Each structure stands twice: as C-alpha cells, then as structure tokens.
Amino acid sequence: MKSQQSHVKALAGKLLVVDDEPNILSSLKRCLVKTPFEVYVANNAQEGLAIMQEHNIQVVLSDFRMPHMSGAELIEQIKSTYPDVISMVLSGFADFDSAIGLLNSGAAHKFLRKPWNNRDLIDEIDGAFTEYHTRLLNKRVLEGEHNPEYYAFEQAVRDQFEMQQEFCLVSLKIKDYDFLEQHAGPNIFKGLLTEIRGLVNSELPQGSQTFAFDSGKIFIIIPDYESEAIIHSRLSAINHKLNEPNTQRQGCVKINCVMGYALAPSDGDSPSSLLENLRSAFSVDNVEKERLCRFDSALRDVQRRQLKIKNSINGALRENQFYLHFQPKVHLPEQKIDSAEILIRWQHKELGWIPPNEFINLSELDGQIEQIGEWLITQSVKMIAELHQFSPDLKRVAINISACQLANNSVVEQFARLLEQYALPPSLIELEITESCLIQDFEQTLKVLQALKSLGLSIAMDDFGTGYSSFAYLAKLPIDVLKLDKVLVDGIEGCKEIQSMIAGLITMCHELGISVVAEGVEVAGQVDLLKLYGCDYIQGFHFSKALPKPEFEQILLQQPFNTEVQ
C-alpha cells in the first residue's frame, strides 16, 4: 500500500483546520499527521482568524455550522482579508445548499463532505495547494508581476510594516497600456518611467520608492507623509502632469493615467490586506469620476455586506426566514379595501431587517432570484387562496415579479400549476412588473406576459413616473393597471403641471380600459386630489403600511374603510 505521504505530489504548505467539535479535529489531525502539510487547528472561527494573522496560511478547511461565527462568515472574512487563500468547506451534505452562495462567489473553493475518506481528503487538500500556487503564478503573470521586482516590492512593503510607521502606498495605472505599447513600441514604458520617477523625486518626500512592472503598473511607497491632505495634493499634481498632453513625450503625447492610494496601517494592517484594499481603491465608479482615489473602507464595507447577504439567501430560504406582508389598496369610489400588494420581508439573523430592494437586486445579479421567486410565487398563491376563503370581498392581490422571472416560460407553468392546485380563480392574482422587465428582452417578455394573461391573471405596470416609463409602452403591452409612482404622488400638491399631467394620464388610462393605482400616498391632501381626478385605487402609509396576514384579515373585516380618519 502506498503511504499517504508519497501520495501527495504538490508543494506542501500551511493548512488551517477549523471545527468546533474536538473529536473531528483530532481525527483530522490523525489523518493529516503523515502528510507534509504544516497543520494548524482552531476550535472556532475567531481562533482561526488569530492564527491567520500570525502565520502565512495558504489553505483553510472549515466546518460550516459553528457557534458565534459560522464557517460561511469565516470564509467570507478570509476572502476579503486574505484574498489569495484557498478556503474549503468540510461539512454534512445538508449544508450544501447554504454553501452554494460561497461557492458561486468564489469565496469557497470546494465543498467537501463529512464523513470523509482520508485518502480523498488529502488529495483535495493537495489540490487546493496546487490551486493556490497556480493562482498566484497566474496573477503575477497577468499583472506582469512575475519578475524579481515584484518580490522586491513585496519585501519593501513588509519592511515598512516592520518599522511600524505610517506610510502611503500608491498604485498608478496607465490605462490602455497594451494598446500604447503596440502602437508606440516597447520603449515607451522606459520613457514614461523616467518621467514618473522624475515627478516622484520632485513632488514626493525623500525616500519614496518606485516599483515598475511591465504591465504599465507602478507602485510608489511613500514612507513619511505629513498629512493626507498634503499627500493628496502632491499625488494630484503628479497625476495632472501625467495626464496633460505632452509633446516632449516620444510616441505618446497623451496618456490616461489613474491613481489609487491607501494609508497604512489605517487602510490595511498587514501587507496582504493593504495591497488588496489598494486594489479596491480602483473601483470603477471612483476612478471614472476622479482619477485619484483613496481606498474607501465604506465601499469595502458595502461590498462585504452585499457578499454576506448573497451568501445568506439560500440558508434563509431553507430556514423560512422570508415572510410576506400585505399592503392594502383602497378602492376610492367605494371607500373599500378590496385588494393588496404582497411585499417580501426578511429579518436577517445578524444584519437585522434587510430592505427588499437590496436583496432582490443582489439576488438578480447572480441568479438566486430564481429560487426566491419560486418560493415567493408558491407562498403568495397559497396565501391568496387562504385570504380568498377568508373574505369573499377580496378582489385581487398583487405579486411583484422581477425582470429575471419573466425571462422564460417556467413562471407561466408555475402559475398554471398553482391555480389548479388551490382551485383559485385567476382574477385574484395581479402581477406587478417594472420597466426593467421590458428593457432586457421586449419580445420575450411580451410573449410571457401574454401567456400569463391568457391564464386569466392581470398585469400592472409598476413605478410609472420613474425612469423612462412612457405612455407609448402601455399601448403595446397587455396592461390592466398602471401604478403611479410615489415621486408623482409626492409632487401632486404643490405643482400644477404634475396635477394636470396626472389628471390627463388617468383619463387616458380609463379610455384604454386601464385602471390607476396611486402609490406612496401619505397625506389627506393627496387623497383629495387623486379622488378628484378619478384615480381608482390608493395605496400608501396614509391608510396602512404592509401588514402581516392576520392584521390584513382584520382590516378586511372592518369595511367600508374610512379614508378620512386614518
């Protein structure tokens, strides 16, 4: 039999194993003892992070469910602080769904299953080290940082940290460098570098070091800066000079140069976190606007929050953390609440209440909306059927449908199936769609909308008055309802133009057989004007916010609803 050690072929390195169960940790230690990996163990995530700070860990193997800080959170944190580290989850298969977000976002490299086979596990760890070295090499090749200069640069950054003094790290990029090199020849960089070194000498404090790479990227370490304001203005001056057309420059009169900088230790307390944060200083938005940006911790925090949200969605679905609320709609002519809009709610264990806009948008970006959407439709139809049983007065309940959900026919099949399952009259369901649904693929969306309409559902155009919403759309679409957005409703009291526009819009809609709902109605004055113009429905905090189902049922019992006293 081959020994475990001879089985391992890759470059061994430092491995961190995190698990809260002592038995598992000891069997892992036993399994790994004969391998060349240098194994560190931690009983919880915090301990693991402390080890990460001390040692140059390359691969992490973590349990998923742990008290205080979960494996998912640990791995996210590792991803943002030590982006080169390869993390793997070792957990029961039941956790696989919750780990999908981590795998999709690239924070986790693999999901390994408990109980494990020793030989397979060692192979996987071995593969992770190979992956670590390959990625590092690729990164360096990609960034042109595979030369000794890069190691000298990394060493210089480490030296600065060891001196325990504040310093500034600047990254300067020449945009479209490849194009420049192709057209102006390989010597162009030498000339530019001489120019940049000259500017560094004249503008920056003595002792500033410049490190240049073939990719057109230059790092500057400024060991001693007086204040951020001063360093900002000096860098700005350099940037300005570089971006000015310069006829002395051979081959390229005009270059496009952007700079990002980070201050140590406040913007990163280790070489790897400082370098990573410096990368994020080049966020697309910032650089387009300014050309010179400091690393922005708020931006990084936003990115971390978004990652956390994305990684929690699957678990939230599994653990029933989402629930539905109903915001009543008042039928103005009868002063009666006979319909509602369903709004999703999510109480995140750690982040608290997360606005639906935020997680719906994020879930649209990486396809998780499909799972949320499916859950939402199933749950909504079930609840609408219950409400229908509860009150025969209930005419219609609206479900918000995101653009991605209309991208294929499966939504039509789902509604057909559910209507049959609950024997629900289709007229009880309304779908609220926004313009973004139409922009993506008009023909496809139109087809799906027509199919939904043939099932007997009605369609509402949401958020009218924002974006490009134009009346031309309405004529082309199978629309039954138009929802006037809050921005229009907000403007109605003080602005004659908005008043006549809304009055005209309502008349026009009625001629087309479209009814009108005004949303975000907060004050009595708005109700009076909307009534005057013949608006059909009113929805807004003036009457009620979105409510849990039992409270909405109570409201349905108290009819007619008095619009004056609320």
| Binding-site ranges for Ca ion (CB under 5 A) | 400, 432, 462-463
Nearer to ligand C2E, 441 or 522 (CB): 522
Q: Could you tell me the smallest distance in angstroms from the CB atom of residue 403 to ligand C2E?
A: 9
CB atoms within 10 A of CB 533: 17
- The piece of 25-33, 163-171, 219-227, 397-405 that touches ligand C2E (CB under 6 A) is 397-405
Smallest distance, ligand C2E to C-beta of residue 371, A:
13
Looking at residues 401 to 430 of the shown chain, list those that interact with ligand C2E (rule: CB under 6 A): 401-402
CB of residue 394 to ligand C2E, shortest distance in Å: 18
Residue 484's beta-bridge partner residues?
Answer: 464, 518
- Considering only CA atoms, which of 516, 518, 515 is closest in space to residue 541? 518
By CB under 6 A, is residue 522 in contact with ligand C2E? Answer: yes
User: Other CB atoms closer than 10 Å to residue 430's CB: what's the count?
Assistant: 23
The smaller minimum CB distance to Ca ion, of residues 400 and 544, is found at 400
Rounded to a whole number of angstroms, the minimum distance from the CB of residue 462 to ligand C2E is 5
Nearer residue to ligand C2E within complex by CB, 400 or 563: 400
The entry of ligand C2E, Ca ion, none near residue 126 (CB within 5 to 8 angstroms by kind) is none
Cβ 364 to ligand C2E shortest distance, Å: 9
376 binds ligand C2E (CB under 6 A): yes
Tell the smallest beta-carbon distance from residue 558 to ligand C2E (Å): 19
Nearer to ligand C2E, 465 or 540 (CB): 540
**Total number of residues that touch ligand C2E (CB under 6 A):** 22
| Helix segments in 391-460, DSSP class H | 410-422, 435-440, 442-454
Nearer to ligand C2E, 73 or 522 (CB): 522
Contacted by 541, from ligand C2E, Ca ion, none: CB < 5 to 8 Å by type: ligand C2E
Identify any residues that bridge with 15 across adjacent strands, giving them in sequence order. 39, 59
Binder among 58, 87, 208, 400 for ligand C2E (CB under 6 A): 400
- What DSSP character marks residue 495? -
Find the shortest distance in angstroms from Cβ 399 to Ca ion: 9
Q: Provide the minimum distance between the beta carbon of 356 and ligand C2E in the complex, in angstroms, as a whole number.
A: 4
Residue length, the chain? 566
Question: Going edge to edge, which strands form the sheet with 38-42?
Answer: 38-42, 14-18, 59-62, 86-91, 110-113
Quick one: which of 54, 34, 109, 31 has its CA closest to 42? 54
CA distance 102 to 311: 6
Establish if 540 lies at the interface with ligand C2E (CB under 6 A): yes
- In angstroms, the CA 235 to CA 203 distance is 8
How far lies 223's CA from each of 30, 207, 229, 280, 397, in Å?
47, 7, 16, 21, 64
**Least distance (Å) between residue 28 CB and Ca ion:** 50
Q: Which span (86-94, 189-197, 263-271, 341-349) binds ligand C2E, by CB under 6 A?
A: 341-349
Contact (Cβ atoms closer than 8 angstroms) between residue 271 and residue 154: yes
Residues pairing with 61 in the sheet: 17, 88
SS3 state of residue 66: coil
Please tell me the chain's helix, strand, coil percentages from 3-state DSSP, rounded to the nearest 5: 50, 20, 30
State the Cα–Cα distance between residues 143 and 39, nearest whole angstrom.
31
Give Cβ neighbours of residue 431 (< 8 Å, ≥ 6 apart). Answer: 398, 399, 400, 401, 452, 457, 458, 459, 460
- From the CB of residue 355, how many other CB atoms can be counted at a distance below 10 Å? 10
216 or 520: CB nearest ligand C2E: 520
Told to check if 462 binds ligand C2E by CB under 6 A, we report: yes
- When asked if residue 546 is in the footprint of ligand C2E (CB under 6 A), the reply is yes
Contact 345, 140 (CB under 8 A): no
* CB closer to ligand C2E out of 64 and 359: 359
- Structure-token pair, residue 426: 């289709």
In the bound state with ligand C2E, the residue whose beta carbon lies nearer, of 79 and 325, is 325
Stretch that binds ligand C2E, among 280-288, 313-321, 352-360, 408-416 (CB under 6 A): 352-360
- In terms of Cα–Cα distance, which of 310, 354, 320 is closest to 102? 310
Closest distance to ligand C2E from the beta carbon of 502 (Å): 16
Q: Find the shortest distance in angstroms from Cβ 481 to ligand C2E.
A: 13
Quick one: what does residue 8 bind among ligand C2E, Ca ion, none, with the CB cut-off 5 to 8 Å set by partner type? none
338: contact with ligand C2E by CB under 6 A? no
Among 180, 220, 332, 360, interactor with ligand C2E by CB under 6 A: 360
Q: Which C-beta is closer to ligand C2E: that of 242 or that of 535?
A: 535
- Under the criterion CB under 6 A, does residue 343 sit at the interface with ligand C2E? yes
Give the residue at shortest CB distance from Ca ion. Answer: 432
Smallest distance, Ca ion to C-beta of residue 486, A: 7
DSSP 84-106: T-EEEEEE-GGGHHHHHHHHHHT
Residue 69 per-residue DSSP state: S
Nearest approach, Cβ of 493 to Ca ion (angstroms)? 20
- Residues in contact with 79: Cβ distance below 8 Å, sequence separation at least 6, in sequence order: 85, 87, 105, 106, 107, 307
Among Ca ion, ligand C2E, none, the one that 425 touches (CB under a kind-dependent 5 to 8 A) is: none
Q: For residue 364, what are the contacts with CB-CB under 8 A and spacing of at least 6?
A: 402, 403, 404
Q: Which of 541, 548, 554, 560 binds ligand C2E (CB under 6 A)?
A: 541
Instruction: Say if strands 14-18 and 59-62 run parallel, antiparallel, or are unpaired.
Output: parallel
Interacting partner of 360 out of Ca ion, ligand C2E, none (Cβ under 5 to 8 A depending on kind): ligand C2E
Q: Which is nearer to Ca ion, 66 or 484 (CB)?
A: 484
Q: What CA–CA distances, in Å, run from 405 to 293, 375, 434, 479?
A: 38, 12, 12, 18
Identify which range of 48-56, 100-108, 248-256, 356-364 contacts ligand C2E by CB under 6 A.
Answer: 356-364
| Binding test (CB under 6 A) with ligand C2E, winner from 355, 367, 478, 548 | 355
Footprint on this chain of ligand C2E (rule: CB under 6 A) = 327, 342-344, 355-357, 360, 376, 400-402, 432, 462-463, 519-522, 540-541, 546
